Amino acid sequence: MDKSNSTALIYFSRSVKCEAESKSWSNFSTRAQRIAISKFLYRKTLSVLRSSELDIIFFDEQKQVGNSFGEKLVNAFRHAFDLGYQSAFSVGNDCLSLEHIDFGHIKSTLESGTAILGPTFRQGAYLIGLKRDQLDDKKFQCIRWQSEYTASDLKTYFEVQSIELEVLEQKRDINQLKDFALVVKELKDISSIAIIRTFLAFVKNSLPVSIHLIAIPIVVYTPFLRGPPSHF
């Protein structure tokens, strides 16, 4: 297939099992609950990415090569470019607000030569996109990844190379169980709220404190966590 004018979508995410082992979500969550949360995030993100109709390249911990996060991400982009793609963008599994992203716009913007950054409220990045000739392996690895400086470092990375950059709307990433509550409060899509709300009904019974999830028009009260259903 000729990929000279095409864009790859890199799903840069650890597997469900590895993610569950790496994140506790709450101090009292069980392994089964952590797996349920990780599986929900992974599958929810994947369903959105598949709707983009772009070629998806999967990079879990078995395919990620390198000693640092930056090195692994560089190698993921390099792999996409080695396959023949001229532009690529990466997303992880920790953002539940991807439904409103215009993937067609991202594709055309990248192919026109403009890089793209989707910053999070924690100053990380939920989406990073660039062309083949805009990737400087050494400089890209030196970005302070997984920190409060990631977004600003990425802006500087493109600025010093005189690369035009489009910054997308800030979105919330999910690192703790309480982040689900914040996402539900911010979402305006009733169907997305319903999906998250239904999922949270399965993930109750391990929190010592209550979490109020404001949906439309019902307030969901989840004081405890319970084990996930068998189909998760």
Residue 92 CA: distances (Å) to CA of 58, 97, 146, 190: 10, 12, 12, 23
Please give the pLDDT value at position 232: 32
| Pairwise pLDDT comparison (94 vs 185), residue with the higher score | 94
Tokens of 69: 């996060």
- Over residues 118-140, the pLDDT tens digits come to 999 999 999 999 999 999 999 99
**What stretch(es) of the chain map to CATH 3.90.550.10?**
7-167
Answer whether residue 33 shows pLDDT above 70: yes
Confidence of residue 30 (pLDDT cuts 50, 70, 90): confident
Q: How many helices (H) and strands (E) does the chain have?
A: 8, 8
Q: What is the pLDDT of residues 39-83, one digit of tens each?
A: 888 888 999 999 999 999 999 888 889 899 999 999 999 999 999
Q: Maximum distance among all alpha carbons in the chain?
A: 55
Fold of 7-167: Spore Coat Polysaccharide Biosynthesis Protein SpsA; Chain A (3.90.550)
Give tens-digit pLDDT for 153-163.
999 999 999 99
- CA–CA distance, 120 with 127 (Å, rounded to integer): 9
Distance, in Å, from the CA atom of 48 to the CA atom of 16, rounded to the nearest integer, reads 17
Among 36-40, 150-154, 212-216, the least confident range: 212-216
What span, in angstroms and rounded, lies between the C-alpha atoms of 54 and 208? Answer: 42
**What percentage of the chain carries pLDDT values higher than 70?**
74
Q: How far from 153 is each of 10, 12, 29, 125, 176, CA to CA, in Å? A: 21, 19, 34, 11, 24
